Amino acid sequence: MPKRERSPEERSSDPAAQQMLIWADELGLGTAFHRADNMVPCNLGAAGMCCKLCGMGPCRLTKEGQTGVCGATIDTIQARNLIRAIAAGSAAHSDHGRDMAFTLKAVANGEAEGYMIRDVAKLRTVAAKYDIPIEERAPEEIANDLADLYIAQFGQQRGEVAPLRRAPDKRQQLWAEHGVVPRGIDREVVEALHRTHIGDDQDPEHILQHAIRTALADGWGGSLIATDVSDILFGTPAPVLGQANLGVLKEDMVNVIVHGHEPTLSEMIVAASQDPEIIEYAQAAGAKGVNLAGICCTANEILMRQGIPAAGNFLQQELSILTGAVEAMVVDVQCIMQALVGLAQNFHTEIITTSPKVKIKEATHIEFNEHRALTIAKEILRHAIDNYKNRGDTHIPDVREDLVPGFSHEYINYMLGGTYRASFRPLNDAIMAGRIRGVAAIVGCNNPRSRHDYLHTYVTQELLKQDVLVVETGCGAIASAKLGLLLGEAGLDNVGPGLREVCETIGIPPVLHMGSCVDNTRILTVLTQMVEEGGLGDDIDQIPAVGLAPEWMSEKALSIGAYCVASGAYVIFGGSSPISGMPNRVSDSDIVLGYISQGWEKLYGGKLEFIDDPDEMIRKTLEHIDKKRAALKLPAYDPTRFGFSGDTRMLELEALPLAERQMALYGAPVPEEV
Ligand code: BF8
């Protein structure tokens, strides 16, 4: 029986997306939303009950006690499937980190056209962490040494991945005790594939221990390298005004969307788009200029550094093409739907692939190379401009929202303590006092199987009411941006009283946008500094904090979840569980589900759970935060104690007649000066 197709409102909670879905229906064109409705997920694969790792299968385990042809149990099969997904996610993030490290090397040696070292302070700070000499050395010399060190982490065979030393001491000891310290990034990914070949590791818990090691190679390895180098080359983010949603596309300009993940390309396209020669070329084609916008994590990279607008998140890549206003969509790696090319053929949009790792049949391929970066970026923009004359009717939804992204770890440090006393003390104090109940990191993808953006924004808003400070990255951050939650004043009326006071005092939004998915490492760095600041325990697992990926879909998300667990976090994934197994499975047959939750919690203090009900996600988040508060002997959360200071209170006071205001402020009328 065909599945019922959902209405646009059921498919997305974003009004711009809804408009484009109605338009798609009028045009008779399909999108991921339509395909999800018409493609019932394979129930065996979705639950991790299918093994296709050798030619004796695929083995479909449908009955309790059944095994694969080789004798593999369902638990072994689920553990193998999960670690393979985590290895792929770790590989994707880390390969991005590797490319960044090679770009740093090329810049240090003057071989990368158009790039420069923008954040020398960060370069020196990072290099000093690895005992690279920094005094009386040129930035290029330091960068060359740091690039060599970072490049070596990928192929290293023994020892420990260097950035691991940036974790809290106690956590490093714990990893050493449990034998999960990653030796080299590539080595752990390769070993994950080896262990899951037919006839290798067959103990599910043993397999999943290596999943932790593989994920740590991502979070405290490849991803951290990617973030460090991006900041060094393109600048460490600081708050900047931006905009988000499809309404950032412009009728009178050549619209170019950059989509994917690596900032090496997108940053150079930003630079090229501001080149007078390119602007003149666009004007000669009849446009006012070139309007750049991002999709997915590329959007986050250029939004938080340059204020370049975000056209949307993962599920808006096709919707942007449906506007008919996009001259070129320039893609690099990850989260790029193959369907883009077929859809674009109904319009004038040119899909341009640029990575030597990613080609799509019938797309234009202009290969990017950091040695000729600016020249190639201009060539790509000329293609887009040449295509402007082919534009037909446009349907750009008039929906966009302002936002302030750019809350890097470094900026939060500065924001809380100033230039000379950069510190996390005020944040720790606010948590200890109970003004801030705890912290939630809400990250990850969109998934067309759930209502686009709804889980992200519902969970975010409900936690804000409960005085939980929210930090966000990836497509989740763009979802909140589109709803106006990333603005200083907007939405503070719906934020709990203690959190509101903190936001008003410091002048921050209640939701802090910390970057792209590789930038989840910024959250690890923040948590580490909160530990080092004191008052919230001596390791990350003691902090009242939870990580959530309400609309996850990618293997990268699973890797992030696993390294956050290994770092001590309680992590909740929404939507479906890839290891749910047979319906109504009981106790001893739920080895994998139990192990990643209670098993990992015993070892690392963090756990991974899949919960599809958003209210249950919120309940469990608050329960965990309160449990951690109690363990630290902090006062129990009590919202009635706060909310009597800050801008909101001052506005209330200002509205009062003078005498009443003076009574409220000073307890007596103030005599007039004579
Ligand atoms: O790395 S959140 S859909 S864009 S995987 Fe992809 Fe998921 Fe978006 Fe960025 Ni992250």
Q: Report how far apart, in Å, the C-alpha atoms of 432 and of each of 439, 498, 521 are.
A: 12, 12, 24
Compute, in angstroms, the gap from residue 474 CA to the centroid of ligand 1: 6
Q: Is the CB of 315 inside a 6 Å radius of any atom of ligand 1?
A: no
Compute, in angstroms, the gap from residue 588 CA to the centroid of ligand 1: 34
- Contact between 437 and 470 under an 8 Å Cβ cutoff? The reply is no
CA pair distance 102, 95, nearest whole angstrom = 11
CA pair distance 519, 499, nearest whole angstrom = 24
Q: 372-389, pLDDT tens digit by residue?
A: 999 999 999 999 999 999
Q: Is the CB of 154 inside a 6 Å radius of any atom of ligand 1?
A: no
CA pair distance 30, 240, nearest whole angstrom = 36
* b (16+ CB within 10 A) / e for 253-290: bbbbbbbbbbbbbbbbbbbbbeeeebbebbeebebebb
Q: Is the CB of 444 inside a 6 Å radius of any atom of ligand 1?
A: yes
User: Which is it for the CA torsion 654, 658, 663, 666, positive or negative?
Assistant: positive
Q: What is the mean pLDDT of the chain?
A: 93
- Contact between 608 and 644 under an 8 Å Cβ cutoff? The reply is no
Compute, in angstroms, the gap from residue 552 CA to the centroid of ligand 1: 8
Q: 160-178, pLDDT tens digit by residue?
A: 999 999 999 999 999 999 9
Of ligand 1's listed atoms, the one at least distance from the Cα of 334 is 6
**3-class state of residue 439 by DSSP:** strand
| C-alpha of 82 from chain center | 20
Paired tokens of 428: 């720790």
Q: Report how far apart, in Å, the C-alpha atoms of 120 and of each of 95, 99, 263, 413 are.
A: 24, 20, 18, 18
The amino acid present at 340, given as its one-letter code, is L
Paired tokens of 358: 């990613």
Mean pLDDT of 462-467: 96
Q: Where are the beta strands (DSSP E) in 296-431?
A: 310-312, 326-331, 350-353, 364-365, 401-403
Name the pTM for this structure.
0.94
- Contact between 99 and 265 under an 8 Å Cβ cutoff? The reply is no
pLDDT at 674 over 50: no
What is the bridge-based pairing of β-strands 570-573 and 607-610?
parallel
Q: 392-428, pLDDT tens digit by residue?
A: 999 999 999 999 999 999 998 888 876 566 678 889 9
- Contact between 361 and 385 under an 8 Å Cβ cutoff? The reply is no
Mean pLDDT of 94-118: 96
Q: Is the CB of 517 inside a 6 Å radius of any atom of ligand 1?
A: yes
Compute, in angstroms, the gap from residue 314 CA to the centroid of ligand 1: 7
Q: Is the CB of 314 inside a 6 Å radius of any atom of ligand 1?
A: yes
Paired tokens of 560: 């992030």
Q: 206-243, pLDDT tens digit by residue?
A: 999 999 999 999 999 999 999 999 999 999 999 999 99
pLDDT on residue 421: 66
Of ligand 1's listed atoms, the one at least distance from the Cα of 557 is 5
pLDDT on residue 45: 85
pLDDT on residue 55: 97
CA pair distance 673, 665, nearest whole angstrom = 18
Taking each continuous run of H as one helix and of E as one strand, the counts in the chain are: 29, 16
- Contact between 520 and 473 under an 8 Å Cβ cutoff? The reply is yes
pLDDT at 584 over 80: no
Q: Is the CB of 565 inside a 6 Å radius of any atom of ligand 1?
A: no
Q: Is the CB of 224 inside a 6 Å radius of any atom of ligand 1?
A: no
Bridge partners for 293 per DSSP: 257
Given pLDDT bands bounded at 50, 70 and 90, which one contains residue 588? Answer: very low
Cis, bond preceding 163 (omega within 30 deg of 0): no
Compute, in angstroms, the gap from residue 476 CA to the centroid of ligand 1: 9
Percent of the chain with pLDDT over 70: 94
86-90, 106-110, 505-509: the lowest-pLDDT one: 505-509
DSSP 546: E
pLDDT on residue 1: 43
* Burial tier of 485 (Cβ tally within 10 Å: 0-12, 13-18, 19+): buried
The protein residue whose alpha carbon is closest to atom 1 in ligand 1 is 517
Of ligand 1's listed atoms, the one at least distance from the Cα of 474 is 2
- Give the position of tokens 């991921």: 32
Q: Is the CB of 556 inside a 6 Å radius of any atom of ligand 1?
A: yes
Of ligand 1's listed atoms, the one at least distance from the Cα of 476 is 2
Roughly how many angstroms between the first and final C-alpha of the chain, as a whole number? 87
Listing DSSP states for 292-326 in one string gives: EEEEHHHHHHHHHHH-PPEEE-GGGHHHHHHTS-E
Given pLDDT bands bounded at 50, 70 and 90, which one contains residue 640? Answer: confident
Paired tokens of 591: 């080895």
CA pair distance 301, 286, nearest whole angstrom = 30
The protein residue whose alpha carbon is closest to atom 9 in ligand 1 is 297
Q: Is the CB of 618 inside a 6 Å radius of any atom of ligand 1?
A: no
Given pLDDT bands bounded at 50, 70 and 90, which one contains residue 660? Answer: confident
Q: Report how far apart, in Å, the C-alpha atoms of 368 and of each of 73, 112, 146, 230, 355 are.
A: 46, 12, 24, 17, 6
CA pair distance 212, 568, nearest whole angstrom = 12
What are the residue ranges of helices labelled H in 109-222?
A: 120-129, 139-155, 169-177, 185-195, 204-217
Compute, in angstroms, the gap from residue 302 CA to the centroid of ligand 1: 15
Q: Report how far apart, in Å, the C-alpha atoms of 621 and of each of 96, 439, 572 are.
A: 31, 10, 8
Q: 547-556, pLDDT tens digit by residue?
A: 999 999 999 9
Compute, in angstroms, the gap from residue 345 CA to the centroid of ligand 1: 25
Residue from 453, 475, 559 to probe ligand 1 pocket by mutation (most atoms less than 8 Å from CB): 475
Compute, in angstroms, the gap from residue 667 CA to the centroid of ligand 1: 55
Q: 468-521, pLDDT tens digit by residue?
A: 999 999 999 999 999 999 987 656 778 999 999 898 888 889 999 999 999 999
pLDDT on residue 342: 98
Given pLDDT bands bounded at 50, 70 and 90, which one contains residue 665? Answer: low
pLDDT at 250 over 90: yes
* Burial tier of 166 (Cβ tally within 10 Å: 0-12, 13-18, 19+): middle
Given pLDDT bands bounded at 50, 70 and 90, which one contains residue 575? Answer: confident
What are the residue ranges of helices labelled H in 418-519?
A: 425-433, 454-465, 474-482, 497-506
Mean pLDDT of 589-601: 89
pLDDT at 435 over 90: yes
Paired tokens of 65: 């006690």
Residue from 257, 261, 297, 452 to probe ligand 1 pocket by mutation (most atoms less than 8 Å from CB): 297
CA pair distance 558, 96, nearest whole angstrom = 17
pLDDT on residue 587: 45
pLDDT on residue 664: 65
Paired tokens of 286: 């009849």
Q: Is the CB of 579 inside a 6 Å radius of any atom of ligand 1?
A: no
pLDDT at 647 over 90: no
- Contact between 472 and 440 under an 8 Å Cβ cutoff? The reply is no
**3-class state of residue 239 by DSSP:** coil
pLDDT at 335 over 80: yes
Residue from 257, 262, 314, 552 to probe ligand 1 pocket by mutation (most atoms less than 8 Å from CB): 314
Paired tokens of 492: 């503070």
Percent of the chain with pLDDT over 90: 83
CA angle 150, 154, 156 (to 5 degrees): 100
pLDDT on residue 420: 62
Compute, in angstroms, the gap from residue 83 CA to the centroid of ligand 1: 19
Q: Is the CB of 92 inside a 6 Å radius of any atom of ligand 1?
A: no
CA pair distance 60, 582, nearest whole angstrom = 11
The protein residue whose alpha carbon is closest to atom 7 in ligand 1 is 445
Compute, in angstroms, the gap from residue 147 CA to the centroid of ligand 1: 26
Q: Count other Cβ atoms within 10 Å, centred on residue 673.
A: 4
